[in-house]
């Protein structure tokens, strides 16, 4: 009787694959973004901040302060969150695999 009940509770390879692939991609992208290995993210955000500051100055709004959302520190924080989410997805895939 236990064999009949256990036969319907096999792990879904598609679900495990999705969790595993998404976890690996999120972990890879998050670590690259958090540590900013090549400096692409910080250079791009700095260029955008300077362009926006010039635009505001040309419009006569010298009191406009740049937002925190374009700073390299915030972008690295988002990368760390993405890496953490990737780890959570990998742990979920591992748990689904072991729990069947």
Asked if residue 65 is part of any domain, the answer here is yes
Task: Give the integer Cα–Cα distance in Å for 47 and 61.
Answer: 19
The 3-state DSSP class for residue 54 equals helix
Answer yes or no: is 7 within a domain.
Answer: no
Residue 51 domain flag: yes
CB 84 within 8 A of CB 39: no
Query: Residue 1 domain-assigned?
Result: no
Q: Which residue has the tokens 């792990």?
A: 11
User: What pLDDT shows up at residue 2?
Assistant: 52
Instruction: Report pLDDT digits (tens) over 9-63.
Output: 666 788 888 889 999 999 998 988 888 766 766 777 777 777 777 776 666 665 5
Instruction: Answer whether residue 90 shows pLDDT above 90.
Output: yes
CA-CA-CA-CA dihedral for 62, 67, 71, 77, to nearest 10? 170
Residue 82 lies in a domain: yes
- In which domain, by residue range, is 83 found? 13-99
At residue 89 the predicted structure's pLDDT band, cuts being 50, 70 and 90, is very high
Whether residue 75 is contained in a domain is answered as yes
In-domain check, residue 8: no
Q: How many domains does the chain have?
A: 1
């Amino acid at each position: 009787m236990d064999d009949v009940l256990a036969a319907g509770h096999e792990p879904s390879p598609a679900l495990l694959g999705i969790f595993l692939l998404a976890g690996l991609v999120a972990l890879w992208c998050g670590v690259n973004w958090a540590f900013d290995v090549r400096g692409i993210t910080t250079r791009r955000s700095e260029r955008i901040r300077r362009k926006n500051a010039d635009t505001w100055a040309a419009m006569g709004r010298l009191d406009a302060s740049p937002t925190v959302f374009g700073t390299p520190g915030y972008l690295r924080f988002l990368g760390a969150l993405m890496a953490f989410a990737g780890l959570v997805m990998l742990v979920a895939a591992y748990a689904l695999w072991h729990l069947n």
